[in-house]
Amino acid sequence: MRHTYLILNQPAPLRPSQNQGLRAQHPQPLSTFTQNAKLTRVHEITQCAAYLWLVKTWKLYSVWSLQCFVIRKFEMKKTITKLLISLFCFLGYTNANAEPQKPIITVLHAGTKSDSGMEFSYPTDGKAKLIFAQGIFPIGAVLPMHTHPSPVVVHVLQGQLTSERPDGESITYNVGDSYIEVPNSPHKVTNTGKRPAIIYGVFTTVEGHGPLTIFK
């Protein structure tokens, strides 16, 4: 017994000519490779644009940050200047209202005898006269044996001096020392230091009393 089957909704196969006409009406889509290449290109362009945007944004931010830094520095300097001016004004006002400083007077030397124990007296045969003198002794300089007709107060401002008497007694004086030389007492003065010596001397004499130093 033979059976006959009907296949419903099954299109009939197309002939070659019909198949080519259908392809012409409905072209096939691009290949997967071409689509991926275009997507990659779009992705690269997007990345490049994003990078350029970031660079531009960073440059703008850097310029803005530099401007802010300079402005802060300038404002800080202005503030410090104002504070210093205020401080100086305050100190000036305080000093102006403060009590004036009192002078300080220090007696460098006083006595009725020389360092060797010799007493002295002032000349009285004329009008009193004071003479303030300076002596400079180069290194190794010697002032030969001599006397003074009146008392002398000596102050060593610089260097070192040694006063020696005929009997060999000697006294060395350094910076800041003061001493008295009595009248008619022979002595020799030598710079025994390592630098020039400077002394100040005050002669208490009278007018017409003759030279201040008499060499023997």
Claim to verify: residue 138 and residue 206 sit in the same structural domain: yes
- CB distance 123 to 206 below 8 Å: yes
Between the alpha carbon of residue 31 and those of residues 34, 35, 38, the distances in Å are 5, 7, 11
Residue 76 lies inside a defined structural domain of this protein = yes
Residue 112 lies inside a defined structural domain of this protein = no
As a whole number of angstroms, the distance between CA 114 and CA 149 comes to 15
Averaged pLDDT in 10-residue chunks for the chain of 216 residues: 45 49 48 58 67 64 60 69 74 62 85 84 85 95 94 95 93 95 94 96 87 87
Claim to verify: residue 159 and residue 201 sit in the same structural domain: yes
How long, in residues, is the chain?
216
How confident is the model at residue 209, as a pLDDT?
Answer: 76
Claim to verify: residue 150 and residue 85 sit in the same structural domain: no
The 3-state secondary structure of the chain reads CCCCCCCCCCCCCCCHHHHHHHHHHCCCCCCHHHHHHHHHHHHHHHHHHHHHHHHHHHHHHHHHHHHHHHHHHHHHHHHHHHHHHHHHHHHHHHHHHCCCCCCCCCCCCCCCECCCCCECCCCCCCCEEEEEEEEEECCCCEEEEEECCCCEEEEEEECCEEEECCCCCEEEECCCCEEEECCCCCEEEEECCCCCEEEEEEEEEECCCCCCCEEC
Domain final residue, candidates 57, 80, 98: 98
Claim to verify: residue 90 and residue 134 sit in the same structural domain: no
Residue 189 lies inside a defined structural domain of this protein = yes
- CB distance 193 to 133 below 8 Å: no
How confident is the model at residue 92, as a pLDDT?
Answer: 64
Claim to verify: residue 180 and residue 139 sit in the same structural domain: yes
Domain final residue, candidates 52, 78, 98: 98
Claim to verify: residue 147 and residue 88 sit in the same structural domain: no
How confident is the model at residue 140, as a pLDDT?
Answer: 95
Question: Can you say how many angstroms the Cα of residue 107 is from the centroid of all Cα atoms in its chain?
Answer: 38
Give this prediction's pTM. 0.53
- CB distance 81 to 73 below 8 Å: no
Residue 2 lies inside a defined structural domain of this protein = no
Residue 115 lies inside a defined structural domain of this protein = no
Q: What is the dihedral of CA 145, 149, 151, 154, to 10 degrees?
A: -40
As a whole number of angstroms, the distance between CA 141 and CA 161 comes to 10
Claim to verify: residue 137 and residue 77 sit in the same structural domain: no
Claim to verify: residue 86 and residue 164 sit in the same structural domain: no
What is the CATH classification number for the domain harbouring 157?
A: 2.60.120.10
Claim to verify: residue 141 and residue 193 sit in the same structural domain: yes
Range of the domain at 150: 128-215
How confident is the model at residue 87, as a pLDDT?
Answer: 74
Name the domain count of the chain.
2
Domain final residue, candidates 46, 81, 98: 98
Residue 60 lies inside a defined structural domain of this protein = yes
Claim to verify: residue 197 and residue 134 sit in the same structural domain: yes
